[in-house]
Chain A
Amino acid sequence: MIRLYDDLIIQTVCRIMIPLIQLFALYVIAHGHYSPGGGFQGGCILGASFILMLIAYDINWMKRRFSEDINILMIAFGVLLYAVIGLICVLLGAEYLNYGIIHKIIPLDPVRVRALGTLGIEIGVGITVMAVMVSIFLNLTTFGKHEKGEV
């Protein structure tokens, strides 16, 4: 696949950087409605951290931490979160994704409930984008075999 040799410098720096990149991705997702960013951008950064892990180390090393089953489960889970939040609004009598109506269930201010609904949608988008990015990269670089091999 990609890696032919171990490199101590790259691996050490990646070990320091990957948690910081993931923290920044969560920051971008959580601040999507106050500042530039959002679900898609944060999901891309989160996916990039896993791709960096894959490049710097090894496909088996990365699979032990983020396996194929969890990856597929996450793709479906993000879309499910998006659809469920949208459908709750429909069930409560408003339009699809009109989050303000959720204040009938959650005893909070409607404005605050609207912000929370946006955050839920963005978390769903972020999870799906992250898992799809990793899945696309794995399939492209290993020619769909998902195992270690030569270039």
Chain B
Amino acid sequence: MIRKNLLSLLFAVFIGLQAFAQDKTVSGKVTSSEDGTPLPGVSITVKGTTKGASTDANGVYKISTPANSVLVFSYVGFTMREIQTKNQTIIDLQLSPDAGVLNEVVVVGYGQQSKKLSTQTIATVGSKAIANRPVLSPQELLQGQAAGVQMVGSSGLLGANPVIRIRGAASITGGGQPLFVVDGVPLNDGTLSGGQGGGSGLNPLLNINPQDIESMSVLKDAAAVSIYGSRGANGVILINTKKGTADRKTEISLDSYVGFSNPTSLIPMMNTEQFVGYVAAYRAARNLPAVSLSNDYYDWPTNVVQQGKTNNISLSARGGNQSTTFFIGGTYATESGFTIGNDLRRLAGRLNLEHKVNKFLTIGTNLSISNVDMDRIGAENNTFAPLTSAYLQLPNVLPRDASGNFLNTGFIQNVIGIEALNTNRFVSKRTTGNIYADFKIIKDLVFRTDFGMDYNAGDSKTRNVNLFTPSGAASRDFQYDSKWLSTNTLKYNKDFGKSTIGVLAGYSFETSLFDRISVAGTGFASDALPNVISAATPTSTVEERSEWSLESQFARFNYGYDNRYVVEASVRRDGSSRFGADNRFALFYAVSGGWILSEEKFMKNQSFINFLKLTASYGTAGNDRIGNFSSLDLYGGGVLSDYAGSPGLRPTQVPNKSLTWEETAQLDLGFNTTFYKNKFNLSINYFDKITSGILLNVPFPYTTGFSSASKNVGKMQNNGVEIDFNANIYDKADFKWSVGFNSTFLKNKVLELPEASIDPDGNRFVAGSGAQRAVVGRSLNEFFLVEAIGVNPTTGDLEWRTKEGAATTTYSANNRVFVGSAIPKWTGGFNTNMSFKGIDISAQLSYSYGNKVLIDGLGFTDNMSATAGFNKSVDLLDYWKQPGDIAFVPKLSSTTAPLFSQLSTLRLQNGSFLRLRNVSVGYTVPKSILEKLKVVRTLRVYAMGQNLWLLKDKNFRGPDPEVSANGPNNQILGESFFALPQARTVTFGLNLGF
């Protein structure tokens, strides 16, 4: 009681003192210097006091201040201004948008931070960079744009899953894909469909409309990813979609574009004359009886390519008032690829809504629904892949008979007929979203509960007609991943004088069910019966279910002092159903610190450096991609176990109770500066990631009865430097020009593989494919091949190099040596943006240097044998004829000729390239004109070209240096059978605002 009275007394004294000072009221209106619109929510403080106010919906504020004080106006994204009140009572002012990136807010795991003060290393691609890039898959937005992010478009196939690696591959067999989180919902990233010849399957982000994206944050260092615990080791990509805007007139945007695409290159193959001549010469040279071949000719490759076409129309409305904000968007896109039979249609809608119930409670939702309908084609090593088969098809084989009917052309099938008559369809339906509620419990303490879901269904249908699959065949395969998660967090942010603290604590539970039903049958009375029910013989019926769940607690604490020193710690404990009971739970953590030198007194008396920050972080994250039940010993039933009509069981998996997470520990040292009138920004980060307890599919000798089992063995390092440099060279109202450059130097090294096999030279290795392996002391993707020297000009024989270095005409796998890595030494990009009055020009280039690429299809098209049932590369015509010839191919009678196509460095290519990814020119019609017309608010027209120019090795043989047939598989990088080359696209578009 006494204590309470004392407090009241103190309070009264304080009030009294306040009243004693001669306060007066200042009011005014804050607007944006850019377009004069009022700025709501601008923070106004009286310098040196704790007094503050903020602007209302109309940008109007009112604050009582002592005389002759200084008011500080600050607003996120705008330059802070300080104004002497003097004797004024009305102060109207304009704030100008901040040119630099440093006042930006950056999206981090479970929240956002001031970019200036954040100690996490995050690359952000914001809405501005996205706005002028009409692309169909979100990953394309990252290509060459963010240091440390290597993105390889795996092929020109529609919907192909690109390879993304963040600071190198942190795992060997555990999968390399980062975790994608959309508005707080970690996405399922199963592909729900077969690869149809390509190893990469379909893009898990196929259903996300890039035009709905506000920002993409790539979380790179441990400080950023450890809050995602057991799924953070490959990096995390946070995708935040567009939210509503308060107190603005509803803005309606219409974006429409049309694009035309062509393949960047085709491989030259023999025509009939060349083929028949070659076969005759080969047979004569080798004393084989002559054969009579047809002289018909059909140019398969040029007949399976066409001009692809894209149409996209997106319509959105964005707005709101003080209590409710919304973003509603819809898109319809159609795309036909540059090979026949490859089409895609996407229909997607989004509703992001937030409503303030009262000053304590805010509720909201982010919800997207989409439908993607694809006409698929085979890819890579699949005889139903149009371009692969077109390359391999004999040139004297015709697709149609004399009366125009399609012909069955045998094993290398008539892809033109297949695309005309067969059905190969994939429909994906996806609903992703969350609903949430924020309770402000007390000032500065917010509780959020968030319920998220991701339902992703894939429905594949095939129907092969009688002509190509005698009696006809059909299949239907329906699969879905259904996830729900509940996330509950408490956030506390408070300033105490010069100190600021932020606390986050959370609990989440996440579970996902995979379900699949699939049927297939053969024997159809008529090609006009499309469905499996009409099949005489059911050949496959599958029902499959698998579930996993993850329970987590996590927390983050940060402390800042005087905007100069920041420290942060985060921790996450994950429990997963994927691991054995003994190893179910694991702890991940990170600590980080930052020093903003530019806030120090000793930096204040210079003006060259505007901002300078040093950061350091260290911590851990894990990888749980091992399948759902890898720790158990299992017997499986089904069609691989049944016999003569009765069910059976067979051993399918070896037990491994001790299986657990792989853990990646990462050190990051960062340097970030802005200098010379905020014009230049430079970031340099050094990182060193060490993954231990690597989940390795340890190969067993087959004499065990098993091929491999997952074990936690091995250690690997990825270290390197990321450089990101941006310059706003001109920043005048009617002329702006900026350039950017980023580069990542990456060194990947396998440190230990204790249970892996040992090659004859004593190297421990794990083979990824027949051509590449992870090798201790070398990289994860080291090509191991017999080195071909070339054709000896004197003898006409092909020579390989023995391990000792001597030339030999005997091919032997014992002579395999390490001939380079599929991992680039440097990757990165350049970009530039220029605007002059209403005209804007931008260009992006991306590059890769120091990597090798293996084109496996050359093993077929370089086959010198006359009986091989494939067409041949025109390069085979360059065979040795007489002493002195410098030829690519050995003499036809050589004993080495049948071995020419054996796996050797002849199939290995230099994978370095520099590609003009994107160049665009746009014109924005000036406001003055539009205001007179009073029809539209904004109008921009543009033209864009993608992949218009490519610099590659002049000796490159293959479709494209930018290939990877195996998608997220970390063990096979840079290999392709015959990938579709990247598309060269020209797009014309229109952005309209109402």
**Bound pair: A and B?**
no
